[in-house]
Amino acid sequence: MAVNATPVDSALRLTVQTGTDAAGNPIYARYRFSRIKATAADQDVYDVALVLAGLQAYPLAGVERSIEFGLSAS
């Protein structure tokens, strides 16, 4: 029996560096944007992340995307 994976939901997470602690280690904050179209191209999602990062007061430290899949047997 074959299993089919269908993307059903996606989220984008931006990590920004908000400063440093007393020891000089970076302090990060994460922002999560849910309900990103699961079929959106990775490049398009990354381009949007860069635009959103440009609106932040802090420098961008990372971009992540998570995709949820629905599984069904065929």
Sketch the domain layout of the chain as residue ranges.
Answer: 3-73
pLDDT at position 69 is: 93
Query: Does pLDDT of 63 surpass 90?
Result: yes
Question: Is the four-CA dihedral 62, 60, 56, 37 of positive or negative sign?
Answer: negative
* pLDDT tens readout for residues 5-31: 999 999 999 999 999 999 999 999 999
Interatomic CA distance for residues 47 and 18, integer angstroms = 22
| CB 38 within 8 Å of CB 65 | no
Quickly state the pLDDT bin for 74 (edges 50, 70, 90): confident
Position 1 confidence tier, pLDDT thresholds 50, 70, 90: confident
Rounded Cα–Cα distance for residues 70 and 68 (Å)? 7
Which are the contacts of 57, defined by CB distance < 8 A and separation ≥ 6? none
Average pLDDT, the chain: 95
- What is the pLDDT at residue 15? 98
